[in-house]
Amino acid sequence: MKNATIARFLLQATLWGSSFTFIKASLHGLTPGQLVMARLLLGTAVLLALAALRHVPLPKGSGLWGHIAAAALFGNVLPFLLLSYGERTTGAGLAGVLVGATPLLTLGVATAVLPAERATTRKAVGLLLGFVGVVVVIGPWTDATGSFSGRAACFGAALSYAVGYVYVRKFLTPRKLAPLAAAASQLLAAAVLMAAVLPFMAWHTPHFTTKVTLSILFLGLFSTGLAYVLYFRLINDVGATNASAVNYVVPVAAVLIGAIALGESVSWNLLVGGVIVLIGMGYAENRLRQLRRTPKDTPPADTPVPTAAKASPAEERR
């Protein structure tokens, strides 16, 4: 990854890593359906305003909007709802581990449907090592496991995210949509879908405390609005599987945010697990070998040599 891409990757991880805390806080005043509707409306409003200010047009064509709606279903509506329900009865640590399975699930789905992102031994081993690091960081052995339905909901969110990554890569990335236009249109479609099902979901009068209000605002404006611009940019730049690896860093970011903002202690497993995550990601992308090479070294056999023709996406990410 280039430095700018790494910066976007880490920013998205930070925004999504903080969302676990804000989801918990928001559920003190809203039902899961109300929470998801609120964050989608706020995120959509922000992105539509930005698109208007920057004169970025939204996509046109019913066929394209059909794909956008499908991406919104798997990338927003389903995982947002599943996490909101799951976190009511499941510890945040275990929820983070389950969502941390997204890159491995994405690799499996991408291998099945994306010829340019077939699994390699290096990538599979690296992603598996990264998942081990996530488990060490979260330390699920110190947290309550919660209900089976809560765990199933969080794992379902990870699977939905994986399908969403691959769907965007297969059907939307080839359309060359601007990241802002793609993000704004997907959140708009997600808000419409959520509005259609909300009347059939559990409802109570919202209770807006200062904590609940601020949590919803952050979720909508930053963890949803800004984060999904980064989401599309990363998929365009590095592909579905590599972009989904942000979910390995999300739990690390969540623990660090808790330590900085809430004064929570930093345990040994955070430090050890964080190192394992970085090593796994570096191995998956062949960064460890690149660090050992000097400028005079000959590129290894599995490193693509630049040619006049543009390399395939799979080659660019090795």
Report the chain's mean pLDDT, rounded to a whole number: 80
User: Can you read off the two tokens belonging to residue 230?
Assistant: 């980064």
Residue 240 or residue 228, greater confidence: 228
Q: Mean pLDDT throughout 190-196?
A: 97
Contact 40, 190 (CB under 8 A): yes
Amino acid identity of residue 86, one-letter, is G
- What is the C-alpha to C-alpha distance for residues 212 and 38, in angstroms, rounded to an integer? 12
Which residue's entry shows tokens 């956008």?
68
Cβ-proximal residues to 219 (8 Å cutoff; 6+ apart), any chain: 19, 22, 23, 26, 35, 38, 39, 42
pTM: 0.75
C-alpha pair distances (Å), 257 with each of 121, 181, 260, 305: 33, 30, 5, 41
Alpha helix (H) residue ranges in the chain: 3-26, 32-53, 62-72, 78-86, 92-99, 102-113, 121-138, 148-167, 179-197, 210-218, 227-238, 240-244, 246-262, 268-284, 287-292, 313-316
- Distance of alpha carbon 221 from the chain centroid: 16
pLDDT of residue 73: 97
Instruction: Give every CB contact of residue 118 below 8 A, 6+ residues apart in sequence.
Output: 111, 314
Q: Using one digit for the tens of pLDDT, what is the confidence trace for 43-87?
A: 999 999 999 999 999 999 989 999 999 999 999 999 999 999 988
- Both tokens assigned to 205: 């009068």
Query: Out of 49-58, 100-109, 116-125, 266-275, which region has the weakest mean confidence (pLDDT)?
Result: 266-275
Neighbours of 309 (CB within 10 A): 6
Residue pLDDT, tens place only, 25-54: 898 899 999 999 999 999 999 999 999 999
Does the pLDDT of residue 99 top 70, yes or no?
yes
Q: Tokens 């939307």 map to which residue?
A: 172
Say what angle helices 32-53 and 78-86 make with each other, to 10 degrees.
140
Q: What is the mean pLDDT of residues 215-221?
A: 92
Q: Is 151:144 a contact under the CB 8 Å cutoff?
A: no
**Cα distances (angstroms) measured from residue 44 to each of 81, 185, 209, 226, 302:** 17, 8, 23, 10, 43
Provide the pLDDT for residue 184: 93
Q: Tokens 């809203």 sit at which residue? A: 30
pLDDT tens-place string over residues 229-248 = 888 888 878 887 778 778 77
Find, among 97, 17, 9, 99, the residue nearest to 285 by Cα.
9
Least confident range from 20-34, 153-167, 245-259, 293-307: namely 293-307
Q: What are phi and psi of 303, to 5 degrees?
A: -100, 125
The C-alpha atoms of residue 265 and residue 255 are separated, in whole angstroms, by 9
pLDDT of residue 291: 44
Asked whether 28 and 250 are in contact (CB, 8 A), the reply is no
